[in-house]
Amino acid sequence: MHRTRPAAALAALSISACLLAGCSTRPGDESDRRKASPAASGAAATPHIRLNAADGQKHVSVRRGGRVTVEAGRITNVSLATANGRAVRGAVSSDGRTWAPDAVLDHGTAHRLTVVAAGADGRKVTKKIAFTTVAKTDRFTGTFTPDNGSTVGVGMPVSFTFDKAITEKKAVESAIEVSSSSGQPVVGHWFGARRLDFRPQQYWRANSTITVRIRLDGIKGAEGAYGEQDKTVRFTVGRSQVSTVDAATHRMTVVRDGKTLKTIAITAGAENSPTWNGQMVISEKLISTRMNGATVGFAGEYDIPDVPHAMRLSTSGTFIHGNYWGADSVFGRTNISHGCVGLNDARGGGDPTQDGAWFYNNSLLGDVVVVRNSDDRTIAPDNGLNGWNMPWDQWKAGSAR
């Protein structure tokens, strides 16, 4: 690896580059270079310098802004410095075609970049630009679920939440690619200006691998909001498990890979606080938690410690969880909850023989729980990870692509 050198050393490097560099042309490639046929005429192609910023550009990526690529030639000199004269160290690749800073550039800093490249015949090309990197206050970030390397249920969407309102939705959505090893087409849908979910038309196919390519670095999301994330995330879809709660019969049927695994007696929402209907996705698992009605609009009605095996189904506070305070006789016979689905269980979750423990231990984040025959409306698609309740045509209409 060669590093940027003082002028005296660069002269020797320039001579070496002229002796060693080769040149080539590709049929039909006319982008910013001269067409040449060395075999026929002995002419060499003019070096073409590619930069990741334009002269005078602002909000330039701190990761890509100082990088240099040369085609039909080799780099002989690179000078990158801040406006106050502080040099930015970097290295030339072994083939002399690329140069990159040793570290990411400083945010909100003016830079000057000069690049000299030479062709096989010694002809030199120089390019100079000045640019300013994006300020820390002008960045946006997307947090997302599920996590890289996780194994999830078939209902788990890919969900992004941005820390700033996005106005350039097409640019942001186009910079995120979600694909499945099953070949299922995947479409994004915007819920407002800060949330973007991706899913296929039907649940993910069991045992497939989902790849999420995030290429937001340098993407303008809004005025004063530029992305910096550049990563690839992969997660696995496990077995297919969909559990159907019938609020009228007070039973839940757990179906795994098309076969009934277990039927469990439950208690759903009472008459004055029914459970949402619809397809709900498990988004959080808590072995034990405290549930206070004040957090979900039932102030003073309950405050229960050590609620076992709680699994979140909605942002608004719907859970499927163990219940130790109800009499055994309520399960399978009546609905007594404030909107959750309750399973017979022991306080704190210490008894593995209870129905709540069994369901918790046999559930993944992303598993689907379907509620039917409750005296409430269908849950909103953006209340939790529950976009499956939106018709496919409506889902596609919410894409910005």
Q: From residue 300, how far is each of 271, 296, 321 by CA, in Å? A: 18, 11, 20
Q: Name, in order, each residue with C-beta under 8 angstroms of 357's C-beta and a sequence gap of 6 or more.
A: 308, 309, 322, 345, 346, 349, 351
> For residue 304, what are its two tokens?
């229960």
Q: Which top CATH class is 2-134?
A: mainly beta
pLDDT at 299: 75
Our answer to whether residue 23 is catalytic in this structure is no
What is the residue extent of each domain of the chain?
2-134, 140-238, 241-389
What is the topology classification, in CATH, of domain 241-389? L,D-transpeptidase catalytic domain-like (2.40.440)
Identify the residue whose tokens are 């209870």: 354
pTM: 0.85
Our answer to whether residue 338 is catalytic in this structure is no
Beta strands in 165-302 (DSSP E): 176-180, 187-191, 195-199, 209-215, 220-222, 225-227, 230-237, 241-246, 251-256, 259-267, 278-281, 284-292
pLDDT at 29: 42
Under DSSP, is residue 33 helix (H, G, I), strand (E, B) or coil?
coil
* Amino acid, res. 153: G
Q: pLDDT, tens digit, for every residue of 20-56? A: 333 333 334 434 444 444 434 445 689 999 999 999 9
Q: Could you say which of 189, 309, 321, 338 is catalytic?
A: 321
pLDDT at 43: 59
Q: Could you say which of 18, 59, 250, 340 is catalytic?
A: 340
Q: Which residues of the chain have pLDDT under 50?
A: 1-42
pLDDT at 250: 98
Whole-angstrom Cα distance, residue 129 to residue 152?
Answer: 48
Under DSSP, is residue 204 helix (H, G, I), strand (E, B) or coil?
coil
Decide whether 140-238 matches 241-389 in CATH topology.
no
pLDDT at 41: 45
Q: Name, in order, each residue with C-beta under 8 angstroms of 126's C-beta and a sequence gap of 6 or more.
A: 114, 115, 116
Among 288, 261, 290, 152, CA closest to 209: 152
Under DSSP, is residue 53 helix (H, G, I), strand (E, B) or coil?
coil
What is the topology classification, in CATH, of domain 140-238? Immunoglobulin-like (2.60.40)
Identify the residue whose tokens are 């630009």: 129
